[in-house]
Amino acid sequence: MKISNKYAIEAIVFTSYVLFAMAWVGGTSSMSQIMASMSVDSLASASFISGAVSFAKIVGTFLAAWIAVKVGIKMAFFISSLLVVVGFLTPIASNYEVLLFSRFLMGLGGALMIVYFNPIVMKWFSVEERSTINGLNAVAFNVGTAIILSSMIEINLFTGGWQNSLLLFSICSLVLAVLWLLVDWQSENKGEAGNDETPVEHFSYLDGLKDKFTWAYALCYSGLLAFYICLFTFYPKAGIQASSWVIWFGILGTIAGMIYSRKIKQRIPVIRWSGLVQVLTICGLTFSGSALVQLICAMILGFFVFLPITALVTIPHELKGMTPQKITVVFSFFWSISYLIATLVLWVFGYLVDVWSGDYFYAFVLITVLSSSFFLGSFFLPETNPKNKETV
């Protein structure tokens, strides 16, 4: 049996990343129980796991294009799926080293997978459809996170415990990995990128480093990514509890962004003005002493963080001369540079809190200023659908 229906293929891709998010966040939420079962109570050990995961994201996204060139997109995505399945070791880990190993490889799989979304979308979907599919893929992690945050207790009751829940997520991921092998990669499709047998212009890592767009694209997102990770890492510790609302309204924002990007072809305006709203609401969420103001800002922020993501990830698809190989390299750099900067920013954030004896003010000033990268970066991104083009 071969799978050649593009919507079935997208369902596999989307659900694979949702399951990664469920396993990832489910493991994180159960980490205290996991560490307790190993009699590990060191904060340094817990921090080392987070650091290893960040390293996996940086390395994985950077190597994604190289792996794709060596084995092809289909097998590269299969490899990423198998790495996610390695998460089954997390609930059965007998020692800290095995736990670290499983979390690292699982994070590596998720990092690879997010890069391969784009060449897959480029192959199977037409230009008109790509913004919608890109938006759908962009919300996959939030969907998985929302499921865990709202239903982990019920899932654990159904399966008999958190260990069984994490094992179930891995089993489902394995089923999807097997289904992915049935995808008829060489079949005809309505995309415009051709298939693996179509000669394409060579685009190397060096070409990617020389490309101004690569840097403008990654730097635009890096500050916002740093803030987003910081939001769920440090904000609750600082007593700002409204952060969970960002996830729920982020889903609404993504849906709105998919609809907007399908109807309005200009990409830069929604990125620029959403970026401005982000900065304003981050200021309100971070520095307001009112719980109500923080809640309202978190809701608005969640919506406007994800409203422009569909437009942002669609821009490379619409650049002249884009090929599957080039778009894989572009997104490899996009994610690896963004995660590298975000990791460094989080280290500096924690350092500032330590230097000021637990006072978050200066660290919050830093992350708020850096979050403006999305707004400022919009002035350096190309508009792939200028308005005057419609009147020609």
Q: So what's the pLDDT on residue 44?
A: 57
Rounded to an integer, the average pLDDT of 85-110 is 87
Q: Please tell me the pTM assigned to this model.
A: 0.86
Q: What angle do CA 7, 10, 14 make, to 5 degrees?
A: 140
- Outline where the chain has alpha helix (H): 6-29, 31-37, 43-71, 73-85, 89-92, 96-124, 127-138, 140-159, 162-181, 205-210, 212-233, 244-263, 268-287, 291-306, 309-318, 324-355, 361-370, 373-377
What domains can you pick out in the chain, each with its CATH number? Answer: 6-181 (1.20.1250.20), 212-378 (1.20.1250.20)
Q: Work out the mean pLDDT of the chain and round it to a whole number.
A: 88
Q: CB of 183 within 8 A of CB of 74?
A: yes
pLDDT digits (tens, 9 = 90+) for 259-285: 999 899 999 999 999 999 999 999 999
Q: So what's the pLDDT on residue 42?
A: 58
Gyration radius (Cα) of the chain, Å: 21
pLDDT digits (tens, 9 = 90+) for 149-183: 888 899 999 999 888 999 999 999 999 999 999 99
Spatial neighbors of 290 by CB under 8 A, at least 6 apart, are none
Q: So what's the pLDDT on residue 41?
A: 60
**189: confidence class by pLDDT, cuts 50, 70, 90:** low
